[in-house]
Amino acid sequence: MIKKVIAIVGATNSGKTALAVKLAKEINGVIISADSRQIYRGLDVGTNKEGKQSEFLGYTSRIIEEIPQLLIDQMEITQKFTLNDWLILAKEMIDKLWKNGNVPIVVGGTGLYITALLEGYVPGSGRHAKIKNEVDFNSIILSPKVSRDELFKKSDQRIERIFDRLVEETRQLRTDARNIGWLKTIGLDYKFASDYLDGLLTKPQAIEQLKKASRAYIRRQQTWWRHHGTIHEIENYSKLVELVDNFLND
């Protein structure tokens, strides 16, 4: 039987994880996070982590509505983590899921990770995986259909909702991180929370600048997927189930 991988992609706040959880319940799926920041323990508020920490197939995981999510909370923030590292772990976990009878559902906003996996990049000797190889599985790329205006609105609302908790998380991380400069580069949320803690921005300024930067990031995420792979936009769940069923049984 041909091995199968499902990828669910899209911009921040598009509902990727919720869609993946719902689908996983139908097809005995397990989620693999493709997020360059969720891999780190402690980066929780700023990366929208969900579920409770647990273990699945010997790996650290989070459980969301009884569905395991892997490749999350794997590294300390003092450790470096690259695309190569992610590919090695993702391939290892996908093999174990196939052997366990699970369907791997790769979910995330870090487009480079998913593209590298689906297009057959293999770990190289440098910082990035640059060698292409033939993949030994079939894949399908799905994305929740959400308008850009709606994404912007959800992003703004989220920032207003979580900013105080983000500041407290950032304050704690600054005592543990390998350096504060690194924390500022690991994500927009932590950059602007750090600038606020350093007195470079007032709270309203930090919130407004984070909103503006997050909208620009959403545009970059959407641009990535316009140029990488055939994307099936999902706006009707019953159609999704039919599409996935045809893919898995083809």
Same domain, 67 and 115: yes
- Average pLDDT (111-129) is 78
Residues 199, 102 share a domain: no
Nearest to 113 by CA among 85, 145, 151: 85
Let me know whether 87 and 210 are in one domain.
no
Residue 1 has pLDDT above 70, yes or no: no
Q: Look up the domain containing 53 and give its range.
A: 3-146+222-249
pLDDT band at 213 (very low <50, low <70, confident <90, very high): very high
User: Are the C-beta atoms of residues 150 and 15 closer than 8 Å to each other?
Assistant: no
Instruction: Dump pLDDT digits (tens) for 50-101.
Output: 999 999 999 999 999 999 999 999 998 888 888 989 999 999 999 999 999 9
Q: What is the mean pLDDT of residues 187-204?
A: 94
Q: Are residues 66 and 138 in the same domain?
A: yes
**Same domain, yes or no: 214 and 234:** no
Which CATH number do you get for residue 43?
Answer: 3.40.50.300
Domain count of the fold of the chain: 2
Contact 71, 93 (CB under 8 A): yes
- The residue type at 58: G
Domain shared by 59 and 133, yes or no? yes
Same domain (yes/no): 215, 242: no
Q: Are residues 244 and 177 in the same domain?
A: no
Same domain, residue pair 55 and 170: no
Assigned token pair, 109:
């906003």
pLDDT 10s digits, 126-167? 555 566 778 899 999 999 999 999 999 999 999 999 999 999
Separation of alpha carbons 214 and 157, rounded Å: 12
**β-strand pairing of 67-70 with 59-64:** antiparallel
Interval 117-130 mean pLDDT: 71
pLDDT given at position 225? 86
User: Which CATH number do you get for residue 183?
Assistant: 1.10.287.890
- Residue of 34, 61, 19 whose CA lies nearest to 117: 34
135 and 174: one domain? no
CB 131 within 8 A of CB 120: no
Phi, psi of 2 (to 5 degrees): -70, 135
Pairs from 147-154 (Cβ < 8 Å, separation ≥ 24) = 148/218, 148/219, 148/222, 151/11, 151/12, 151/13, 151/14, 151/218, 152/215, 152/218, 154/13
Q: Are 175 and 245 within one domain?
A: no
Q: Mapping DSSP to helix (H, G, I), strand (E, B) and coil, where does residue 179 land?
A: coil
Query: Quick one: how far is CA 195 from the chain centroid?
Result: 25
Question: Within this chain, do residues 237 and 167 fall inside the same structural domain, yes or no?
Answer: no
